[in-house]
A = this chain, B = another copy of it.
């Protein structure tokens, strides 16, 4: 049995429990629980922003922690998550101020821009009107406007308002979305004001239910994008929509159905009424957003890959078949180009990329790798077809970062793996894949060209535990991560030569894209203030391993590489809770220059170079 006895770490107030290898940092354990802590210093223990309180047996404080925290704080269980490790089963309380994207920080940012904090598009006004009488015979809507201020209204609701006003004795709650009256609800319903933010990934869908009064997240749901069964990357889906009769409708409808099911899960988990969800903010790549809206993606499948719309779209959810409030609305993010979509705009928005003072790079690793550079006040963006390797697709035993996924692979004398959910493994997610490849390179089982050595080619000093894991698989050599006796399905989990080629392609494409953007802007990797890594591809990427396989430039100080979590979802959240964020998103999309890597004369060379592991 190669698996260590994993240790349970429970986070409060969320109550989420993860199982991690002993010695895992609290920062990484938190990331496993989808809690992204702030770490402006890059996890060096210098900024003190990631402080958490350990309930139970905390590890001994490190010297760095002693510098940052007082004796009394340490006695009270306070630790720096980037420094403190897991020694045994513990509970960890995470103060909201330590979160990367805390409500306070979002609101603070909104305040900096001079706008009132918490300014969602949808708002409610409770009114108590006098009933009409002789000499007080204003039209119903004018009576209402005198209390709420002017609004627009659609015919469908106009037909209902007079009856509703009378039934409710002219007291109730007006629901307004950007100056459009979308409902008049009897009684005072102001506390029930919800929206959903959705990251529409090529491979993964994530939805969060948000309380617009507080900005709090009330529930989260995620699942595989069901379109995956019709093609596992955007180009294959564009092809499907073009060449299959009714293919576009099919792609659209299975996506909508999945989102409706997720909304059902959110509603069930939170107890919130579906009719009190008034908006959904969507963020995804250009193709996903067009499929969501049933806009033919054909022009995205051929040179020069042109999107239909550039600006964000406001659409009645009813027209998309989405089930929230009957007059609810969907906001779909603006896009930059055919392969730099709303998800990239979300990333720029959520990371405040355009507010940095020194060159900063944002790399969103999904089925496509989107790369955005901010330097000298200019935003440039490019996209690479990374492929779905990091999300588990096209990898023989690949899977999403969910229960049963090997998410961490460590070699210290022998191979150790960590499995999400403390269950027997069923596959390998993106972070586990990077770890495994990095360890194979480090221990010389893998050549820089990406070839897995056969056992008799191995150097003599290779660890026996690793050497023994080079096993025949389908007539070729593969690397065994978990034997059939250890796995949930009784089949071995191996890493094949083909899996490693997929990883090489994905890594090379991103690395080459980074290189081109930096070169065009005249920025050296060492000049970068930070490299922000985003993506919902599983879990915490170990930066040293990302550099080892060449995904991240090796000449960037490791502490400058910072994990940002799912910035596509974070951007969608921001636009759901703040009109100001929506305006900013529109502006960012239009001012970002779109670089078509395939037309860059240096790209093919850079790609070929980047395919070689450092």
Contacts and interface: CB of A to CB of B under 8 A. Distances in A.
Interface in A329-357: 335, 337-338
Nearest to A161: B308
Interface stretch (A84-92, A289-297, A548-556): A289-297
Contact of A304 (B134, B141, B161, B306): B134
A140 interface: yes
Interface in A273-313: 293-296, 299, 303-311, 313
A72 interface: no
Question: In the assembly, how many copies of this chain are there?
Answer: 2
Interface size class of A (residues with CB under 8 A): 35 or more
A406 to B, nearest CB: 40
B306 A596 contact: no
A310 to B, nearest CB: 4
B139 A294 contact: no
Given A293-B158, A596-B134, A141 B303 contact: no
Given A137-B304, A137-B305, A137-B306, A313 B155 contact: yes
Nearest to A293: B155
A306 B158 contact: no
Interface in A140-193: 140-142, 145, 153, 155-156, 158-159, 161-163, 166
B137 A310 contact: no
A135 interface: yes
A132 B306 contact: yes
A159 B145 CA distance: 35
Given A303-B134, A304-B134, A599-B134, A309 B140 contact: yes
B596 A308 contact: no
B294 A141 contact: no
A132 B135 CA distance: 62
A304 B139 contact: no
A258 interface: no
Interface string A505-540: 000000000000000000000000000000000000
Contacts of A134: 303-304, 596, 599
Nearest to A339: B137
A216 interface: no
Nearest to A334: B139
Nearest to A297: B162
A338 B156 CA distance: 21
Nearest to A595: B135
Q: Which of A133, A293, A310, A596: most chain B CB closer than 10 A?
A: A310
Max chain B Cβ within 10 angstroms of own Cβ: one of A134, A308, A590 = A308
Contact of A306 (B139, B155, B303, B310): B139
A335 B294 contact: no
Contacts of A159: 293-296, 308
Given A159-B294, A296-B159, A299-B162, A308 B137 contact: no
Contacts of A461: none
A337 B137 contact: yes
Contact of A335 (B139, B153, B296): B139
A442 interface: no
Given A296-B162, A306-B132, A596 B140 contact: no
Given A132-B299, A142-B311, A161-B308, 12 more contacts: A132-B304, A134-B596, A139-B307, A139-B337, A140-B306, A155-B315, A158-B293, A158-B309, A159-B295, A162-B299, A162-B306, A166-B299
Chain A to chain B: the 7 pairs with minimum beta-carbon distance, closest first: A139-B310, A142-B310, A139-B307, A137-B304, A132-B306, A155-B315, A141-B309
7 contacts: A133-B304, A141-B309, A141-B310, A153-B309, A155-B295, A155-B315, A158-B309
Interface of A: 132-142, 145, 153, 155-156, 158-159, 161-163, 166, 293-296, 299, 303-311, 313, 315, 319-320, 335, 337-338, 590, 594, 596, 599
